[in-house]
């Protein structure tokens, strides 16, 4: 079930650097130290996405990875989007500490 605007606002505040898009999604750009690190990060996100059975849109531009999350079947943002984003943050922080 899609979250209300109030619920979305509360959940987005708990995430660092994630933004709401006009297309009822949340998005964040991660900057890695190089292309190979970006690919490693994307593979880690892919493993999480499979585990959560919830798959983000992923764009790779050399060392920058943009993730966009929404629940198409619900027509907007759900708890699944924010749960996956929270777990992706842990990977992103680990990548930052290695860079």
Domain residue ranges in the chain: 19-98
Tell me what pLDDT residue 92 has: 74
pLDDT band at 95 (very low <50, low <70, confident <90, very high): low
CATH class given for the domain over 19-98: alpha beta
Query: Cβ(11)–Cβ(82) under 8 Å?
Result: yes
Distance CA 89, CA 18 (A): 10
Distance CA 25, CA 19 (A): 8
pTM (2 d.p.)? 0.90
Tell me what pLDDT residue 23 has: 87
pLDDT band at 94 (very low <50, low <70, confident <90, very high): low
Query: Above 90 in pLDDT, residue 42?
Result: yes
β-sheet bridge partners, residue 57: 68
Q: Where in the chain does DSSP place strands (E)? A: 19-20, 26-31, 57-61, 64-69
Give helix 79-98 / helix 35-52 axis angle, nearest 10°.
Answer: 150
| Buried/exposed code over 47-60 (b: 16+ C-beta within 10 A; e: otherwise) | ebbeeeebebeeee
Tell me what pLDDT residue 97 has: 44
Tell me what pLDDT residue 99 has: 47
Q: What is the mean pLDDT of residues 59-85?
A: 96
Residue percentage of the chain with pLDDT more than 70: 93
Q: What is the mean pLDDT of residues 13-35?
A: 95
């Amino acid at each position: 079930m899609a979250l209300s605007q109030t619920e979305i606002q509360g959940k987005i505040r708990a995430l660092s650097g994630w933004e709401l898009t006009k297309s009822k999604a949340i998005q964040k750009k991660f900057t890695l130290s190089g292309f190979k690190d970006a690919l490693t990060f994307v593979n880690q996100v892919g493993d999480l996405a499979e585990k959560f059975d919830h798959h983000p849109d992923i764009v790779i531009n050399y060392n920058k990875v943009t993730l966009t999350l929404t629940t198409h079947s619900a027509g907007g943002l759900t708890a699944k989007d924010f749960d996956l984003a929270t777990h992706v943050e842990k990977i992103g922080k680990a990548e930052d500490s290695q860079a």
